[in-house]
Each structure stands twice: as C-alpha cells, then as structure tokens.
Chain A
Amino acid sequence: MTELPLSRSLAASPRSSLARTAKLAFVRIGVLPVLLIIALVCFTAMSGNFLSTRNLMNVARQSSYLTIVSLGQMLALIAGGIDLSVGTTLAVTSVVSALAMVAALNAFPDMIWLAIVAGMVSGLLVGSIIGLINGAGVALLGVNPFMMTLGMTSVGFGIALYLTSGVPVYGMPEAFGAVLGFGTIATVPIPIYVTLLLVVLMYVLLNWTRLGRYIYAVGGNMKAARLSGINSRSTLLATYLMCSGLTTIAGLMLTARLSTGEANIGASMPLESIAACVIGGVGLSGGIGRVGGVVLGALFIGLVQNGMNLARIDSYLQMVVIGTILVVAVIADRLRTRFLAELHS
C-alpha cells in the first residue's frame, strides 16, 4: 500500500479564515447550542423570573414528559422509521388507565394501591399493544412506518374518544396524582427522576448493547444489516415496542399530573417529539442520533414554551413559533450536512 498522508492543510487565507472557523464550529456542535443561547438571552431579557431556580426546575418537570416521548421517537427515527402515533398512545394510555383505576376503586373501595397498580398495568398494556401493532405492520408486513403509525393515530384517538364519549375521566385515587404527578424527593419532582432513569437506560441501550447497535444498523442500511446476520424484523419490532413503552410511561405520569384521563392530552406530541429529535441531531433517514442531543432538544422546546408563557405570548402564536423552530432546525441541519460533505469529500 502506498502511504497516503491523512490530511494536509494549506495555510488559510486570512480573509476567509473567520468564516471557515465559524463553519467548522457549526459542523462540530450543530444548531442546538446556538438556538439555546438565543432563547436564554431573549427570555431572560423579557422576564426577570425566567432564570430563577424555581422556574428552571419547573421547565425540567414540564419537559420531562416530552423528553420521554422524544426518546421513544428517537428509537423509531434511528431505526429508519417514524412514530406519528405517540400522541394517541399517550391518549389511550391516559383514558384506559384512568377508567381501570376508577373501575377498580369502585369494586374495591378500600384497596387504593391495588386500583393504582391495576390502572397503571392496564395503561402500560394497552399502550404497548399499539406499539406491537405498529411494529408488526412495519417489521413483518413491510408497511411504510409513516402510513402505519398515521393509521394507528386515527385508530387510537377513535378508541380513546369512544371509551370516554369525549368526556374526561374523573375519580382517580388522589394518591396517584400526589405521588406520580406532584410528588417530590428532596424538592426535586418525581417525574424528573423517572426521566433521568429512562435517559440513562436509553443511553446504555444505544451505546452499550447489541440491540442498540442493531437499531442503528437496521436504520442505516437494512440490507447490510441482514447480510451481517442481523434479524431486522425482531429489531424493528423491539424498536416500536420500546417506543410505545416509553410513551406509555409519559402518558401515565401526565395522567397523574392532570388527575384526569383525557383523550386530548397528546395532540401536540408527534410534532414536538419529532422536533426535539431533529433539533437534537437525529437524522430523518435513519442510522444517526444521540440520546444527549434529544434530551437537549426536548429541554429546549420546554424552555421556549415556558419562556413564551412567562412573556405572555398567546398560545396560538406559540404554535407558530414551535413550527418555525422545527423548520429552521431542519434547514440548519441540511446546511450542516452539506458543510460536512464539503469537509470530507
């Protein structure tokens, strides 16, 4: 073999060196830090309370539900798919767990914890069934993930509305909301602990286990994965199952927080979770994405929403802002890919 030098650089011309440094920095760190700094500066200027410990803790708690759902969404995206049904998975979980809890409480009025466990288990079960159906459609029948999960969105939402006749389910045990929704340990809300635990689990899964590696491989190149002896079907099935599992956990905690079972609670989740992933550097064509980026992406969205609330920005306008951020992030990501290609080609 000939010895090829790894890389050589010419002395950069002074005129373009600043632009090049900026480009390199952008390629290395991505768009998220820039957006975060802009948001922090803006909202701090707009509201004095924004940077207080109490408010930041509040942001962390409010973002925990989106963070968990985004972790699931990230799995689907890395595996080369997408899960549009996270919103209805959340809704179905909420409705079913609330109904089960109320029913169990009516049957055994003294056994509050039995009712809570029964509700949570049935919520988890139903949510996972949605994931199983998604997974079966995508992995076994080869249905396009977009269509599969879009279809399930309607199915799930319909079921949730049918079960409740569109009316929120009340009457859950107070202990449920007190612990999972409002409980704290050492002044830190319980949802934050749960989120941290799941973040660590996902990090380990994706970086330190065989299954994690297989998810990247199947999403990056399904054929190459098959030729490498990987069972792409079971990998995809596991991916969608885990995605819905995570969403279900978020659904249970959100139900506890609201103390009602509602069919409408997840409506903004598909958009927001995909946005968090994309802003966090997850590739839309599969095979690329990191847990850290997604967590920051979800936190960023939470931060923006909180900041806008403090600044009393109309909630309809907030939708405009979130949508704009998503599109800007995608554009920035395209630019970054182009610079990256220029760097290496």
Chain B
Amino acid sequence: MSIKVFDQTGPVSGQYRPETDALLSLSGVTKQYPGVLALADFDFDLRAGEVHVLFGENGAGKSTMISMIAGASRPSAGEIRLRGELVDFRSVQLARRAGVRAVFQEFSLVPELTVEENIFLGQEASRGPFLDKAELRQRARAILDHLGFDLKNDQPVAYLSRADQQMVEIAKAFVDDIAVLILDEPTASLTEKETDRLFALVDAAKKNGTGVIYITHRMAEIKRLGDRVTVLRDGRKIATLDAQDISEERLIELMTGRVIEQVFPNIGFAPAALMLEIENLTLAGGVVRDASIQVRAGEVVGIAGLVGCGKGEIGRAAFGLERVRAGRIRFKGRDTTGHSPSAMLKDGMFYLPSDRRNEGLVMARGGRENIALSSLDDNAFTRFGFLKRSAEAKITQKLAQDVELRPMDLERSVDQFSGGNQQKIVIAKALARKIDFFIFDEPTVGVDVGTRVAIYALIRDLCEAGAGILLISSDLPEILHLSHRAYVMYRGTIRSEIAQADLSQENLLSHFFERDAS
C-alpha cells in the first residue's frame, strides 16, 4: 500500500467520481495520546457540495478530528482519503496545498501584521526574491470585496475587534480554490449581518462543489446550513443524520447520552434590597454613554445587545476595570466609582470575564491554584500571609465537585481542560469566597450544552439564595429565559428596559438595530 505524501500538489486519481464518491473520507481513524484515547475508530465521509455539521460536547473529539484533516496532527491509526486517494498530511501547509482549509477558533493571526499580510501569510506572491506587494494588495482587496467584509487591508490586526479578526481568519481560508473547508464555530463573535454574509459564502462554496465541515452548538445554524449532522461523544461517532428532519431535543440527547428535559430553569423571583446602581455612566473612550441600570438582590438582570455595543464594558466598569469619565456606580449603598477590582471583591462582587483564557485563568497553573486565587486574602485560605494548604485542597476539591469538573484533577494545568470545564473552574473560583453579586459576561461562549445547563442551574441557585446577578450575553435565548428584567444596549447607550412579562424575541430584537427616524 503506498501512501501519498503531499510534497507537491498531487494529480487527482483517475478512479475518483465526484458524483458518487465521497470527497473526503475517514475510515477507522484513531488518535491515541499516551493514556488518552481522543478519537476511536472513527468513520466519516464528506460529499462534494455538502455542509456536514459536527455536533458534540467539548472534548468529544471534534477538534482532534478536524486537526487531523487539516494537517495539524496525524492519526495513530486509520486512513484519510481525499478524492479517493490515500493522504498523509504531515503539516498544515501540505493540507492547504491539497485544498483543505481550516478556520480554527483559536485565531492563527499575527497581531503586528496588517490584514493583507495575514491573509497571505505563508503563501505570499513574489517576484523573484522580492514580495510582490502591489499584487498582494490587489488580491487581498479582491478577496475582501468578494466576501463583503468591511475591513481596511493595511490595518494591523492587533487593532481590530474580535469579530473583525474572525473575518480576517475567514478571508485567509478563501484565498484560492478550496476542496474542503473546515469552519469551527465561525459565528461565535460575528454580528447578525456578518453571520448572514458568512452563510451566503458557505452557500456559494457549496455550489462550487466544496465540502464544508461545520462545527457549531447552535441549532439555528444547523437548520439554516446543514445537510447532514454527525454527533460525537467521548471520541466516538454516535450517529450521522439528515440535518433537516432532526429536533434539538434529539440531538442533545444523542450528544449527552441522556434526556435533558429543560435547558433553561425557572428562576424564582424575590427581589430584595437594591445592590448595584449605575447612574449616567460614561466611560473614557465613549464605549458606554450615559447608561443607567439597577440590579437588586434576588433577581437576574440581563443586558442584551449586539457584539461591540458596550454591554460587556458596563459589567467591567462595575467591577472597576474601566476608566469612568462621568456618572456614578453605587454598590450596596456605597459609592464605588473608581474602586479597584480587589476592593470590589472584598465588597462581595465577582466578575466572570468573557475571555477566560486571557482574563479568567492562569492557564499554566492547576485548578486548585486558580480556584483559590481570588480568595487568598480570606482567613479560610491563609493566616498571616501563609497558605493553609490542606484547607485549600479541601475547599477547592469540594468546589470542583460542586461544579462537576471533568476530569476531576486539580493539579493538571488548566490549559489541558476543555472550554466548558475551564469555565467551570472560573465559576468555582467565584464560589470560593463570600460573594453575593455576580456579573456573568458571556458565560456560555464556547461551552457545550451539558455545561450550559449546569451554568444555568447554578445561576438559578445563586439567585434563589439571594444573590444579585447581572447577566451580559449575546445569546438571546439566554437573556429571554433567565432574566427577570433586561436592558437592551445599542451603540453604547441603554436603548430600553424590558420587564419579564414583556420579554420576547421580537421585543428584544426590535431594539437591537438602528431605528428609522420617524
């Protein structure tokens, strides 16, 4: 058996018939890491011109699978065929030459380089030994225009928003002919409009005969784009189904291996004393202007709005992370404008950041140290600056069990946990000290359904125990089902306040976008 190594663009085998044969097929693919079986005996096929959705919890093996197809890692056993030919992608470069393109969640952009430099990174046009900059610029412009992305091609990527960076990442994949396109939760940080644009692109790619592997947790996207869905659990394939005639309940059941009756819990409403009161807040830079909100003990208050509308900054400002230009922040009746995060923590407020890798966790350290980190000034954890290590081990172990951390290993560094479990560690950290006011900033981004349900149940428990909760989210259903009251933000200002009785998708959405001046 000869294995084709893509050291150059290989000729297409004569036996491949695009009408009937799979464009890409995996058979018996296994990925074994020492001690861990990430993917077991996995069969999969992708037809030309279809969108094949991968659905599964974090850690189910989706990332392992696409990393092998994209050449980022190699299978321990089994074979991958592209157009019927056995392939062995030893690097991302080789996979790219064969027409396999991946847009990963973790951005592969160089912040200091410009948009166009990033788009062509590793495949620069050159004239002799020199870069052909004019050619690069022209082609970058053409790609961006074709995609309909509103980006300046000479701007350094570092200055772009997360959504814009995501668009550059997508543009990178569309540089030339694509046989297989892999999209890993591409809409996580896109606005509605950009999402629509991306969907149109995926449709266009389908028409050209590109096979698309699409990872998402969102049902609406499966309905909108998907042809088939493959469900993974624990590194194994559970089923491949037709995307159009499957219900969300059935998918979740397949994914988790059990029936989840209700994703969103009913949260008891017993509003008590006013806890957080923000009056006419304006931040330096004008991301938030003249915003006022109130949160009581025993209620969940949502802030909805598009990506970049300033809703996250309100939460950050309350916790002392933003520079306040005007307005007042009062917490538990005291003026806390300009207080530091450590002062706010001592007062009983905790902010769970949306970006847990960069702001939530010390990735190189273990779960125990991370969970205890914000509570080390508490007498339960230290005495005269010395750590009580056994008490710490006991408390963090208990908290990790409460949030059902998997795997239950508090010494393993947190970058070796899945996204959902990292979020659980952040939550355990919030529970490690006496906190009665929680700010959740996008608590379920990149988190699987199982963990999502656990987080929602936790929000219910905290609220019913009398804590005040500010829930900032771009996920509409989350705001709809969990909040007792919600604010909608639009371009840095509070557009409206909606009571629970009036909370509906239409009602919320009507405040999301520009209103006609009438």
Binding site for B on A (CB under 8 A): 1-2, 4-10, 20, 23-24, 207-214, 216-217, 220-221, 223-231, 283, 286-288, 342-345
Q: How far is the CB of A238 from chain B (nearest CB, A)?
A: 11
Instruction: Say yes or no: is B14 at the interface (Cβ < 8 Å to chain A).
Output: no
Q: Answer whether A2 and B33 are a contact pair too, CB < 8 Å, given A224-B362, A231-B342, A283-B364.
A: no
Partner of B341, one of A216, A226, A343: A226
Q: How far is the CB of B390 from chain A (nearest CB, A)?
A: 11
B 349-373 contacts with A by CB, 8 A = 351, 353, 358-365, 369, 372-373
Q: Answer whether A8 and B36 are a contact pair too, CB < 8 Å, given A1-B454, A210-B386, A229-B341.
A: yes
Instruction: Say yes or no: is B91 at the interface (Cβ < 8 Å to chain A).
Output: no
Is A5 touching B234 in the complex (CB atoms < 8 A)?
yes
Is B36 touching A214 in the complex (CB atoms < 8 A)?
no
Is B365 touching A228 in the complex (CB atoms < 8 A)?
no
B 366-403 contacts with A by CB, 8 A = 369, 372-374, 376-377, 382, 385-387, 389
Q: How far is the CB of B376 from chain A (nearest CB, A)?
A: 5
Partner of B373, one of A2, A208, A225: A225
Q: Find chain B residues with CB under 8 A from A209 CB.
A: 382, 385-387
Is A213 touching B454 in the complex (CB atoms < 8 A)?
no
* Binding-face segment, B120-128, B138-146, B406-414: B406-414
Instruction: Say yes or no: is B57 at the interface (Cβ < 8 Å to chain A).
Output: yes
Is B406 touching A213 in the complex (CB atoms < 8 A)?
no
Is B362 touching A2 in the complex (CB atoms < 8 A)?
no
Q: How far is the CB of B432 from chain A (nearest CB, A)?
A: 10
Is A220 touching B362 in the complex (CB atoms < 8 A)?
yes
Is A343 touching B369 in the complex (CB atoms < 8 A)?
no
Q: Which of A9, A220, A224, A231 has the most CB of B within 10 A?
A: A224
Partner of B33, one of A225, A283, A344: A344
Partner of A216, one of B59, B353, B365, B408: B365
Instruction: Say yes or no: is B38 at the interface (Cβ < 8 Å to chain A).
Output: yes
Q: Find chain B residues with CB under 8 A from A286 CB.
A: 364
Is A223 touching B33 in the complex (CB atoms < 8 A)?
no
Partner of B377, one of A5, A23, A210, A223: A210
Is B408 touching A9 in the complex (CB atoms < 8 A)?
no
Instruction: Say yes or no: is B9 at the interface (Cβ < 8 Å to chain A).
Output: no
Partner of A2, one of B35, B64, B256: B256
Is B36 touching A230 in the complex (CB atoms < 8 A)?
no
Partner of B407, one of A1, A4, A208, A225: A4
Q: How far is the CB of A131 from chain B (nearest CB, A)?
A: 20
Instruction: Say yes or no: is B155 at the interface (Cβ < 8 Å to chain A).
Output: no
Distance A212 CA – B377 CA, assembled complex (angstroms): 13
Closest residue of A by beta carbon distance from B72: A345
Q: Main secondary structure on chain B at its contact with chain A?
A: mixed
Partner of A227, one of B38, B359, B365, B382: B359
Instruction: Say yes or no: is B34 at the interface (Cβ < 8 Å to chain A).
Output: yes
Is A213 touching B258 in the complex (CB atoms < 8 A)?
no
Q: Can you list 6 residue pairs at the A/B interface with Cβ under 8 Å?
A: A2-B256, A224-B358, A224-B362, A227-B321, A227-B341, A229-B374
Is A229 touching B385 in the complex (CB atoms < 8 A)?
no
Closest residue of B by beta carbon distance from A216: B365
Q: Find chain B residues with CB under 8 A from A223 CB.
A: 358-359
B 222-269 contacts with A by CB, 8 A = 233-234, 256-258
Binding site for A on B (CB under 8 A): 30, 32-38, 57, 59, 64, 73, 233-234, 256-258, 319, 321, 340-342, 344-346, 351, 353, 358-365, 369, 372-374, 376-377, 382, 385-387, 389, 404, 406-409, 412, 416, 429, 450-451, 454
Q: Find chain B residues with CB under 8 A from A287 CB.
A: 362, 364-365
Q: Answer whether A228 and B429 are a contact pair too, CB < 8 Å, given A210-B376, A220-B362.
A: yes
Distance A127 CA – B358 CA, assembled complex (angstroms): 35
Closest 9 pairs between A and B when the two form their complex, measured CB to CB: A229-B342, A220-B362, A228-B374, A344-B416, A229-B345, A287-B364, A6-B407, A221-B362, A1-B404
Q: How far is the CB of B462 from chain A (nearest CB, A)?
A: 18
Q: How far is the CB of A48 from chain B (nearest CB, A)?
A: 42
Q: Find chain B residues with CB under 8 A from A345 CB.
A: 33, 38, 64, 73, 416
Q: Find chain B residues with CB under 8 A from A208 CB.
A: 386-387, 389
Partner of A20, one of B34, B372, B387: B34
Q: Find chain B residues with CB under 8 A from A2 CB.
A: 57, 233, 256-258, 450
Q: Find chain B residues with CB under 8 A from A1 CB.
A: 404, 406, 450-451, 454
Distance A221 CA – B362 CA, assembled complex (angstroms): 5
Is A220 touching B341 in the complex (CB atoms < 8 A)?
no
Is A6 touching B369 in the complex (CB atoms < 8 A)?
no
Closest residue of A by beta carbon distance from B235: A8
Q: Find chain B residues with CB under 8 A from A9 CB.
A: 32, 34-37
Is A343 touching B454 in the complex (CB atoms < 8 A)?
no
Distance A263 CA – B139 CA, assembled complex (angstroms): 59
Q: Find chain A residues with CB under 8 A from B382 CB.
A: 209-210
Partner of A7, one of B30, B36, B345: B36
Q: Find chain A residues with CB under 8 A from B374 CB.
A: 227-230
Is A213 touching B387 in the complex (CB atoms < 8 A)?
yes
Is A210 touching B385 in the complex (CB atoms < 8 A)?
yes
Q: Find chain B residues with CB under 8 A from A283 CB.
A: 364
Q: With A207-B389, A221-B363, A342-B33 given, name 4 new contacts (CB 8 A).
A: A9-B35, A223-B358, A228-B341, A287-B365
Closest residue of A by beta carbon distance from B352: A227
Q: Which of A213, A214, A225 has the most CB of B within 10 A?
A: A213
Closest residue of B by beta carbon distance from A27: B34
Q: Find chain B residues with CB under 8 A from A216 CB.
A: 362, 365, 369
Q: Find chain A residues with CB under 8 A from B372 CB.
A: 213
Distance A211 CA – B358 CA, assembled complex (angstroms): 22
Q: Answer whether A23 and B256 are a contact pair too, CB < 8 Å, given A210-B385, A227-B353.
A: no
Distance A145 CA – B342 CA, assembled complex (angstroms): 25
Is B362 touching A7 in the complex (CB atoms < 8 A)?
no
